[in-house]
Structure 1
Amino acid sequence: MINNNFFYSHGVKVDFFNRENLKKAIENSVIKMYEAQVVGFDLYRNTLDCFSASIDALLQGISMDDWLKQEKERQIQKTKQNAIGSLHENIMGSIDGVTSLPVGNLVDIVCEDKKIIAEVKNKHNTTKGNHKVQIYRDLAQKLAEINDDFTGYYVEVLPKGAKSYDNAFTPSDNQTNKKLPKREDIRVIDGKSFYAKLTGNDGALNELYESLPSIVAEIIKEQYNVNLDADSIVRENMFSENFVKAYGEK
């Protein structure tokens, strides 16, 4: 169901998402990312690999101190990526009529109104072949349990080749070296197309992308009383270019 109310934040209009629900959906991830940046990271907490450290520093021609600074930044970024790993499932769950299920369920998303279930992955190349086989089987099992003309989707939020697609999902089984049976009710789809299905509007993902900086800035202001300039990010040419690089022309 589309929420027809209009919401504003720092001049950004949100038409196809309930703004307050969206804000609540991303709040935890945003806080974890911010705290990883502010608090930092203890490189020795999980035992530093002293062997790779010395070899890598030597190969790069840098000091061990510089290597540690470099590694710390890398680990902070990794922590941030982990914190944001379920961002899109949470955002989708904020859409009216859509439920984001807890970890441990066969699927991530259920939309009763549109008869959709989905397993959501952030990027097309983060799932290995054998894991895709398991996703297919999980979707098939859930569809059998529902038994009500639903369609199961494997969602690649960031698609391959900046293309839109909605195709039958037939991953190869590495044990049999054969593709799993083609079923029209088990599909692979890009993120932009899937958001369009959930909201009923082709521009939903564009709107989400453009509105997130202002909502993130509002969360940080409320939680830490720190002012972030969301407008400066949105005004950068690279802000729009990055979206086009990921999804093609708007």
Structure 2
Amino acid sequence: MQTLSWLSDDHLYNSVNRLLDIAEKSLKNSETQFNKNVLDPFSALFQISGFDISHEEWLIAEKTRQAQKSLQNHVGDFHQIILGKVDGWENLETGQIMDLVHKDRKIIAEIKNKYNTVKGSDLSGLYQAMENLVGYKHSSFKDFTAYYVTIIPRKPERINIPFTPSDKEKGVRFSINESIRLIDGASFYEIVTGDPDALFNLYKCLPKVIEDLKGKPMSLEIQNNLFQYFASAYGV
């Protein structure tokens, strides 16, 4: 039986395996590149002293932090790839103005992993790019709806509201345009799949998928802790 009703198991397992490979490479790179990176000796000193940890504990934590930072850059890509495999949706790949499109439904979307992935000063440019795409008469996306998707929202609640960042040139917010919207990950997954619990169902199946791929079971204690993090992020 297919794991998710809206995505083939081949696409699901391939997408998860890709991210696992990136995680492993990120950790290896943090080991091999550690001495090539310029470290902050003041931060190291005060972390070891202030946190009352050994140098070895600090070293492990610092290497993990560097690997984590590298991995997080790819988690947004994971969602983009997953959503781009749903019937009717197209992943526009890295380097394009937008990330996803559904031409028949006239929807385009920019996917970011977290609400603060894009700096506040850059949100103005994102809004203007969306406005040009959906409003310019010669645009291929004229009259589409553009979504700025933050998979992890600022607050644990669902949102689907007009996207009105501050215009950094004028110092005031852009005017409301109902075709340019800010939306959380759970709500956008519902738009894409038709399943109101799509994002949770994806998260819920990942431990089993990862176990199948790595051949190593994840304890129920770890899974329960991880589900609490999901509940905290999305208010479920």
TM range (shorter): 0.7 to 0.9
Residues 49-198 of structure 1 aligned to structure 2 (within 5 Å): 49-143=40-134, 144=136, 145-198=139-192
Match of 1:23 among 4, 13, 38: 13
1:14 is matched with which residue? 4
**How many angstroms apart in 2 are the aligned matches of 1:142 and 1:234?**
47
The answer as to whether partners of 1:107 and 1:117 remain within 8 angstroms in 2 is yes
> Cα offset for 1:35?
3.5
The 3 A distance-change label for structure 1 pair 50 and 245 is closer
> Cα offset for 1:139?
1.4
The 3 A distance-change label for structure 1 pair 193 and 212 is same
Bigger mean CA offset, 128-137 vs 70-79: 70-79
AA of the residue aligned to 1:36? S
State the percentage of identical aligned residues.
Answer: 34
Which residues of structure 1 form unaligned runs of 5+?
1-5, 8-12, 221-226
1:246 is matched with which residue? 233
> Cα offset for 1:181?
2.0
> Cα offset for 1:192?
0.6
**How many angstroms apart in 1 are the aligned matches of 2:114 and 2:172?**
24
The 3 A distance-change label for structure 1 pair 236 and 24 is closer
AA of the residue aligned to 1:200? G
TM-score, scaled relative to structure 2: 0.87
The 3 A distance-change label for structure 1 pair 205 and 75 is same
Secondary structure in 1 aligned to 2:186?
Answer: helix
**How many angstroms apart in 2 are the aligned matches of 1:65 and 1:203?**
42
Bigger mean CA offset, 74-83 vs 174-183: 74-83
**How many angstroms apart in 1 are the aligned matches of 2:118 and 2:141?**
27
Residues 199-214 of structure 1 aligned to structure 2 (within 5 Å): 199-214=193-208
**How many angstroms apart in 2 are the aligned matches of 1:113 and 1:204?**
21
The 3 A distance-change label for structure 1 pair 29 and 202 is same
Which residues of structure 2 form unaligned runs of 5+?
none
**How many angstroms apart in 2 are the aligned matches of 1:147 and 1:58?**
55
The answer as to whether partners of 2:147 and 2:182 remain within 8 angstroms in 1 is yes
> Cα offset for 1:33?
0.6
The 3 A distance-change label for structure 1 pair 210 and 183 is same
> Cα offset for 1:142?
2.2
Alpha-carbon RMSD across the aligned residues, in angstroms, is 2.3
AA of the residue aligned to 1:109? L
Count of residues in correspondence between the two structures: 232
